[in-house]
Amino acid sequence: MNMKIKEQKVIYAESVGSLNEQISRGITEGWTPIGSHQVVVSHEQLRYSGMQHKDTIVSKEYSLTMVKYDAPTQNTIEVDIAYYHPNDNEAVKVYDVEGMTEEFQFKLNQLINN
């Protein structure tokens, strides 16, 4: 199938859990995640008590690209597998190539004439 991207968006959140919620919600709305998530440090604050460094507060941002595809275009003709039992022997199956070819030709003619 040939699928073209119709829309793209980058979703982001401050926690993995929140990003997962957005991904799940997006999937139910027809969006598809692309690739893996990204994490960047969006803010870093060093905290001191007088001249002594106590800790560092680090804020992260998680993001992921999601896309919506156009309706897929079908580039195939599907034909059911057909077979017969020679001499009515149920233990033996022989593919009905002629019948499958006729079904294919019928479907192809329908496509050409429409």
β-strand partners of 47: 55
> Is 62 inside any structural domain?
yes
> Is 77 inside any structural domain?
no
pLDDT at 60: 96
Does one domain contain both 51 and 10? yes
Cβ contacts of 37 within 8 Å, gap of 6 or more: 16, 19, 62, 63, 64
The answer, yes or no, to whether residue 101 has pLDDT greater than 90, is: yes
Mean pLDDT of 84-111: 91
pLDDT at 77: 86
Express each pLDDT in 68-84 by its tens digit: 998 766 678 889 999 99
Length of the chain: 114
Does one domain contain both 62 and 10? yes
Q: Sign (positive/negative) of CA torsion 69, 70, 76, 82?
A: positive
Burial state string for 56-95 with b = 16 or more CB within 10 A and e = fewer than 16: eeeeeebebbbbeeeeeeeeeeebeeeeeeeeeeeeeeee
Express each pLDDT in 25-76 by its tens digit: 999 999 999 999 999 999 999 999 999 999 999 999 999 999 999 876 667 8
Burial state string for 99-112 with b = 16 or more CB within 10 A and e = fewer than 16: eeeebeeeeeeeee
Structural domain total, the chain: 2
The answer, yes or no, to whether residue 1 has pLDDT greater than 60, is: no
pLDDT at 3: 75
- Containing domain of residue 91, as a range? 83-113
Does one domain contain both 11 and 63? yes
> Is 75 inside any structural domain?
no
The answer, yes or no, to whether residue 10 has pLDDT greater than 70, is: yes
Residue carrying the six token digits 């993995």: 16
Does one domain contain both 17 and 56? yes
